[in-house]
Structure 1
Amino acid sequence: MIRKHSATLHGHRTSISLEDEFWRELQDIAHHRNISFAALLAEIDDHRAPESNLSSSLRVYVLEWIKTLVNRDRSTPPLSQ
């Protein structure tokens, strides 16, 4: 279910419509990257195409992050027994 989330983006409060699962994943990504949640949102906002929607850009970022992790795991050779 999509829910409105409040965040500070470039010093201004904004509301973002996003599923809780994506919101939590973005928080985990920020933690993993050792940056603030606001910094991650600003980075994604700064790099999105002008015609794209911020909520959609956040979802795509999460998808690309997870795909990168999966592809990295696939390319890692299994441990020999």
Structure 2
Amino acid sequence: MLNLDDAKLEKHSVTIAGHRTSISLEKGFWRHLRRLAKEQDLSMNELVRLIDEARTGSLSGALRAFVLQSLEKAQ
């Protein structure tokens, strides 16, 4: 049977440019974002800030795209 627990949405608060904001992403994306931040020696807030500065669409979509691109690059 499939374990789709990673598909559950989780809301986390981050600080971007001194402002708190909440972001809802699936558990699996949060797990990979934490790993990617650690690999790059960044805090989660700093990683989200960098992605926020580079995005053209929604922040949650940019975060998902960043995770997917990182996973694809690692293959």
TM-score class, shorter: 0.7 to 0.9
Stretches of structure 1 lacking an aligned partner (at least 5 in a row): 71-81
Alignment pair present for 1:43 and 2:53: no
Alignment pair present for 1:68 and 2:66: no
Percent of residue pairs identical: 43
The CA RMSD measured in Å over matched residues stands at: 0.8
Q: Tell me the TM-score normalized by structure 1.
A: 0.79
Matches within 5 A, 1:12-31: 12-31=19-38
Alignment length (residue pairs): 68
2:67 partner amino acid:
V
Alignment pair present for 1:4 and 2:11: yes
* Stretches (4+) displaced over 3 A: none
Q: Tell me the TM-score normalized by structure 2.
A: 0.85
Shift of 1:17: 1.0
Stretches of structure 2 lacking an aligned partner (at least 5 in a row): 1-7
SS in 1 for 2:35: helix
Structure 2 distance, partners of 1:59, 1:32, is 17
Q: Indicate the structure (1 or 2) with the bigger Cα radius of gyration.
A: 1
